[in-house]
Structure 1
Amino acid sequence: MGVKDMKSVFLGLFTAVIALFAYLLLWPVPVAPASWDAPEDLGFTGIFTPNTDLADLSMIDLTPHHGAEDVVAMSDGRLLASTQDGYILLIDPAQETVDMLAETGGVPLGLEIDTTTGRLLVADAYRGLLSVGIDGSVEVLTDRVEGSPILYADDLDIADDGVIYFSDASTKFGAAASASTLDASLLEILEGVGTGRLLAYDPTSQETRIVAAGHVFANGVAMAPDGDVLMLETGRYRLLKIDPDTGDQSVLIDNLPGFPDNINHGPIVDGVGPTYFIGLASPRAAFLDGNSDKPWLRALAMRMPKAFQPKPQAYGVVFQIGADGTILRTWQDPNGAYPTTTGAVFVRSETLGDRIYITALQPTTLGYRPYP
């Protein structure tokens, strides 16, 4: 090869390297990451010391549906489950039969039964807050608040006065616009700015208001016994306690070893209650924690092929807490055979016994085990 040819090859390589660096540093990405100080990840230690209590679950086959995000029990013992493919399923746990109740036209996530109307309330990631009848009818209760669209309704609970509190996980990365709930959640968490919020819908006035805002993926919602609202902030690994009137908040549990998802009411334990169940969809990501103060590096990750971007790890975890935030026990599956666990739902049955149903984003089954 002559000198001229060598120079041409060198110039071509140099140009390619410069183009690659320019792409990695300058190509537009959908996130504008913020710097923050992630707490040290203590991992699965202490009360979270690994166990296999979530392994070898019994399963109800939901095929062709997948991702039973949440479950509620009806008065007759049947279950209603939301799925990632847009359906509300009606499940008979005794016969292990599955029927379709409704198709929401979106992605239903959190569920609660309104005992006043008998209808199912649904936080639908694409459509907002819905009401679904036992006849399969679907009604949109609210999809806007103070002039802005609700882009990612996630979970809900009902206060004693009938007001419905629900999370809008991200006001920047809508679930529909991102093509999936998981992709939108990863963008909100990777950016770390905090565009999620807690909303309240009054069925009497039909008005929706913002209770609190600025959360990095606002997620699971449950009412506390004193009337405050418990809400999980997934991207900050913590459980918040929020005053529904003022929006003032305090941290009830901090520095969890994974990304918390749903929170559901549980039974009284040893005469003390209420309790709650929380799911961790995945362990924390070392890349996100290690680069929490390097927003440029997190932006660069978005320019990498998807295979190299942060993704959930397969490790199943649900745990039970007291109303004061004390963690009572955990159920785990370190092998991740039942991954992306969103939570656990306690159901008491005279014929089937006490069970917890384990909800998750990916499986085509609904897992369950005896409680405790």
Structure 2
Amino acid sequence: MKKVFSTPMVLVLALAAYLAFWPVPIQPVSWQAPTSNSVIGAYAENSTLANIENIDLKGGVGPESVTLASDGKLYLGVVGGNILRIARHGGAPEVFVNTGGRPLGLATDAQGNLIVADAFRGLLSVAGNGEQTVLLRAASDTQISFPNSVTVATNGRIYITDSSTRFPAARWASTSEAAMLEVFEQSASGRVVEYDPQTKHVRIIAHGLSLPNGVVLSADERRLLVSESGRYRIWEIAISADRLDLSKPSESARVVLDNLPAYPDNLTRGLHGRIWLGLAGQRNVLDQLADRPFLRKVILRIPRFMWSMPKPFGHVLALTEDGTVVADLQDPSGQSPTTTGATETAEHLYIHNVDGNRLGWLPRERVEAGLKR
């Protein structure tokens, strides 16, 4: 009896079946990605961020967020749970505490406690002696799922971006994997949460965000600026909003900066009213697949080593509260770690990154050179 199928044909059919039907964790949603302006026009390529100074983290990797605390020292969280402490004017880093998770966003409260958005453990408060208190535990459907960035108001209330309720980082044991799945799916399951330490009350301010990331308060503390990584934009959201659905128009929220050339990440307050924004990774083929959910599932079935990845491109911006870009610092050389934000002091601009083993910094004169006149 003749063979109906040859071995090569069987292999081809098996591969086709795998690419079409193998289970993946996402249920992709169709959406319309804006046409990218890449790094032209307002984001014309420059090299202001290239060849910066660096502080060796002595084995630490991924200072995703950096904050200047009330004791005058820099604090930064790295892979493995360590929060490192560095003197403001440089010097060797020391381990302040280990959270046992993955510390991302950092801020300080009026009592000098370090407030930590730990993607694996939750919202933490760390006293000056290193004592840790869990304020909100991660992976809770009713409280916080994937805490990413954090800011503290003068009244003590804490505002957190919850990057994905569909893909908690702790469940995937990886912040990058959980973030990638949220962006691939585009179900916009992220939200912005308020926590009141006095009453222990948790309130959802807004939901319907695709990987909400950085968050800062407006100068009058009546609004929040929030970066939505998955859709390349910055929102302004009224703090008074309650369970606001951002998929629908509202007077309580508006987009102040849209169609960014890369994924917006951390937002931090700088000098003279500036707000610094990190751009973490250039836009890619996902734009062309925005309205093709099935193909996004197919890509997830392809081994990662076969993915075509954009070359590293360091990029941070400074903007005003109304979304006007006032500084644009870039490193197109491919040598920069993935830039997730910037922390400005009177002397330096420290560059956050999620995958490097050093903390980069620029002296004041180079920062000034990058400001738009």
For the structure 1 residues 208 and 364, does the alpha-carbon distance in structure 2 shift closer, same or farther, using more than 3 Å as the test?
Answer: same
Q: 2:225 aligns with which of 225, 230, 233?
A: 230
Equivalent positions of 1:186-265 (< 5 A) are 186-226=180-220, 227-246=222-241, 247=244, 248-265=252-269
Q: CA RMSD in A?
A: 1.7
Aligned residues: 355
- Does 2:261 correspond to 1:266? no
Deviates most, 291-300 or 12-21: 12-21
**Mean Cα deviation higher: 324-333 or 78-87:** 78-87
1:168 is aligned, of 135, 155, 162, to 162
What is the alpha-carbon distance in structure 1 between the residues aligned to residue 128 and residue 334 of structure 2?
35
Aligned-pair distance for 1:313?
A: 3.9
SS of the residue 1:298 aligns to: helix
Structure 1 residues 31, 11: closer, same or farther in 2, change over 3 A?
A: same
CA deviation profile, 1:197-254 (whole Å, cap 9, x unmatched): 1000001101111111111101000001241011100000000011121233210100
The Cα shift of 1:293 comes to: 0.4
Contact 1:316 1:334 in 2 (8 A): yes
Q: Could you tell me which of 351, 355, 368 is aligned with 1:358?
A: 351
Greater Rg by CA: 1
Tell me whether 258-267 or 126-135 shows the greater mean CA deviation. Answer: 126-135
- Check the 8 A contact 1:217/1:233 in 2, yes or no: yes
Query: Normalising to structure 2: TM-score of the pair?
Result: 0.91
How far has the Cα of 1:310 moved from its partner? 6.2
Corresponding residue for residue 57 of structure 1: 52
Distance 1:320 1:329 in 2: 5
**What is the letter of the counterpart of residue 62 of structure 2?**
G
Shift in Å, 1:10 = 4.4
Amino acid at match of 1:277: W
Q: Check conservation: 1:312, 1:340, Cα contact below 8 A.
A: no
Offset from partner CA, 1:234-276 (integer Å, 9 cap, x none): 00000001112123321010000000100000111xxxxx210
Taking the aligned partners of 1:299 and 1:20, their CA distance within structure 2 comes to: 14
How far is 1:69 from its partner? 1.0
Q: Does residue 134 in structure 1 map to residue 122 in structure 2?
A: no
Match of 1:33, SS?
Answer: coil
Q: Find the aligned partners of 1:62 and 1:224 in 2 and give their Cα distance.
A: 32
- Identity over aligned residues, as a percent? 39
AA matched with 2:95: M
Q: Deviation of residue 193 (structure 1)?
A: 1.0
Q: Which residue of 2 aligns with 1:351?
A: none
1:19 aligned counterpart, secondary structure: helix
Unaligned 5+ runs, structure 1:
269-273, 349-353
Deviation of 1:76 after TM superposition, in Å, equals 4.1
Cα–Cα, structure 1 residues 146 and 306, in superposed 2: closer, same or farther, change >3 Å?
A: closer
Q: State whether residues 144 and 208 of structure 1, in contact with CA within 8 Å, keep that contact through their aligned partners in structure 2.
A: no
Look up the SS of the partner of 1:245 in the other structure.
coil
Deviations 1:124-156 (CA, angstroms, capped at 9, x unpaired): 101111001121111101126985352210001
8 Å CA contact 2:103, 2:119 repeated in 1:
yes
Deviation at 1:160, TM superposition (A): 2.9
Aligned to 1:298: 296
Amino acid at match of 1:341: T
